[in-house]
Structure 1
């Protein structure tokens, strides 16, 4: 194991973990909220750490670079990146913008009441402040006409967990998937537009436009049940201080899609369960919708 990954072995707040409704503390205050931006957007699929054994395919919004500088004229401050596709707000912690999602196949990483799913999707969110401004610039796009691919979020976030428990610098919304006859509609559309062969993915570096409406993907956090706990990323370097929201409602994925993802990522990329180590796990129950 690389030296900079040592926390994967020595850390006390590693993920994933086994979750239980009976053992979690019921919570109603400080409930996170989700806001989404509907409409057609451009997304792309790319590899994380192409040299790794497991390819770990990533889905992220494609944000075109700002126009290049021309001559000696001062830049005109007219470029504005689009609003995030989804925003999660945690009371007393902050606001987090969607960055990317990826898939863990060969089983789910989290286990709920002893039941493991067939896949788990992780939606990674990064803490922001102000009007979509990053607290620490990621240099995702240079001021040139050539885009620079941002490094994976796991390699950027370096929160500290000192006395006082600072707000997490990132959060992950996890959805466990069970095998079914057909995948949910958004997964069907995704895999139809992005065939999972390496050549097909590399042939579309600028992504494609899709109706990627998070209201059809992520459940309303107010009217669904979920677990919340502080853990780590499940991929190296295993950064800790990450807030997890693990949805109680599962989604569906077709057997063929599972097999295609497993082949595309060169096998299973599921991390074994990690000890809870006295961490608190909270359970947010679903709130009935008066309109139902």
Structure 2
């Protein structure tokens, strides 16, 4: 009987260790888990330090080309909003589509950073939204929108009404959100190759950064910052000779 108890205990201990090993190491934006330490937290995060095409970047000296018009299709559907401790993320798998490079990328989620992660000619913005899309083979394309100080953003207000205040909590958004209200009317953009801006900092991400910002009120920025309790932006990374096109 004692041997059986010991065997069961050993199995439970092994299962517990395996479960812990399978969990992603904790990271943050400050303290020992801050961006400069991400690569030290796990071998999975090594690209955060060794990668040559990391994001975000300072967009400057863009090469003028004939970029194809940005092709976005939006559906007005109820969404789910999550506070994951790093940002406010809105889950969206309702058929919102980005067509890029003759491929279809479906919107998976969008989230926010304050202050902005990318900068344009050295200019930072109080808020940046990332719309994360994925194609059938798992490749990622991120469309980034900057917010400048100004009038209250009506669609953002709808999201902020449901903003979960504590990490790990989520809320369903009953009213429909018109995502077009989170995008500028003039849809010119910059494009470059980069990475995820959070661990594991995976590279090969197609980045689209809208040239024109939309407005956000000072109160809306303060409301988001109060829930986050700290800035949630990764510092600008070296371009390493990357070409930004416009």
**Same-fold call, TM cutoff 0.5:** yes
Please identify the structure whose Cα radius of gyration is greater: 2
Bigger drift between 110-119 and 238-247 goes to 110-119
SS in 1 for 2:78: strand
- 1:7 aligns with 47
Take 2:120 and 2:135, find their aligned partners in 1: how far apart are those partners?
27
Q: Contact conserved, 1:32 with 1:91, CA < 8 A, in 2?
A: no
Aligned residues: 206
- 1:45 aligns with 81
- TM-score normalised by structure 1 residue count: 0.65
> Where in structure 2 are the equivalents of 1:177-216 lying within 5 Å?
177-180=147-150, 182-192=151-161, 194-198=162-166, 202=169, 204=171, 207-216=172-181
Q: Contact conserved, 1:102 with 1:123, CA < 8 A, in 2?
A: yes
Shift of 1:214: 2.5
Shift of 1:224: 2.3
Task: Provide structure 2 residue ranges, at least 5 long, that are not aligned to the other structure.
Answer: 1-39
Task: Provide structure 1 residue ranges, at least 5 long, that are not aligned to the other structure.
Answer: 49-53, 64-82, 129-134, 136-156, 158-168, 284-292
- For residues 202 and 114 of structure 1, do their structure 2 counterparts lie closer, same or farther at Cα, with a shift above 3 Å needed? closer
Q: Contact conserved, 2:45 with 2:199, CA < 8 A, in 1?
A: yes
- For residues 231 and 269 of structure 1, do their structure 2 counterparts lie closer, same or farther at Cα, with a shift above 3 Å needed? same
- TM-score normalised by structure 2 residue count: 0.76
- 1:108 aligns with 116
Q: Contact conserved, 2:83 with 2:170, CA < 8 A, in 1?
A: no
> Where in structure 2 are the equivalents of 1:64-79 lying within 5 Å?
none
Q: Which structure is higher in helix share? A: 2
- The structure with higher relative contact order (CA 8 Å, sep 6+) is 1
> Which of the numbers 235, 238, 254 marks the counterpart of 2:198?
235
C-alpha RMSD of matched pairs (Å): 2.1
Take 2:216 and 2:51, find their aligned partners in 1: how far apart are those partners?
33
- For residues 267 and 29 of structure 1, do their structure 2 counterparts lie closer, same or farther at Cα, with a shift above 3 Å needed? closer
